[in-house]
């Protein structure tokens, strides 16, 4: 039977912010493009690891956000890594279409400083 | 004369967390490796933009952290971008040596999940 919540060994290593979230960086697995940053709680990380679809916690809507469910711009998960402090997740994905809601390929394309 | 604080046009677009910080993703500019995630306040972003050295705010030490000042593992800044929401910074750098304090090249090398 599929585990219903995050593996306790992973959960024990996670360092969450006061809202119970960690930042998750989405990166295109083959080109290396940094696509976006979103947030995960334990359940979003569990779903990301078990469903193959990058799943975040929407802080504005206060609900799970399966990337692409509305836009079609799905992220197929290739690998997931925790950083050395356990407070950031790196999700390598295959991004369908644009990662950014503005239609740009990445959320960092439009506003280069200096 | 050099501006002493962050450009007000940039500052107006930044969306900070309750501690006045935004997450900053450091990426190796040529290989695309995601090296680490750290945090910046306005002044750290200003210093990053004006000194050519990636500079963060250390939440544990509550002080500015010029990456590499202690370790020699300097990050030479190639470009800086804000994301579409103004709440995340992407810093493309040329990383000298290891980005991670553990000696790994990136902070995401050691703990691949699932």
- For B78-111, what is each residue's pLDDT tens digit? 999 999 999 999 999 999 999 999 999 999 999 9
B88:A107 CB<8 A: yes
Strand ranges in chain B using DSSP code E only, listed in sequence order: 22-28, 34-40, 55-58, 63-66, 75-82, 89-95, 111-113
Cα Rg of chain B, angstroms: 14
Task: State percent of chain B over pLDDT 90.
Answer: 96
Q: State mean pLDDT over A10-33.
A: 97
Residue A3 has pLDDT above 70, yes or no: no
Contacts of A108 in chain B (CB under 8 A): 81-83, 88, 90
Helices (H), A1-114: 8-13, 42-51
H/E stretch holding B42: helix B42-51
Query: ipTM of the assembly?
Result: 0.95
B110:A84 CB<8 A: yes
H/E stretch holding A94: strand A89-95
User: How far does the CA of residue B73 sit from the closest CA of chain A (Å)?
Assistant: 17
B113:A82 CB<8 A: yes
A101, two tokens = 């809601």
């Amino acid at each position: 039977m599929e585990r219903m919540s995050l593996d306790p060994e992973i959960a024990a290593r996670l360092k969450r912010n006061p809202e119970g979230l960690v930042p998750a960086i989405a990166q295109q697995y083959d080109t290396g493009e940094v696509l976006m940053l979103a947030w995960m709680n334990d359940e979003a990380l569990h779903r990301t690891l078990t469903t193959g679809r990058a799943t975040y916690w929407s802080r504005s809507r206060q609900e799970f956000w399966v990337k692409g469910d509305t836009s079609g711009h799905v992220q197929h998960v290739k690998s997931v890594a925790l950083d050395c402090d356990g407070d950031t997740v790196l999700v390598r994905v295959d991004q369908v279409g644009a990662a950014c809601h503005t239609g740009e390929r990445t959320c960092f394309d439009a506003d280069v400083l200096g």
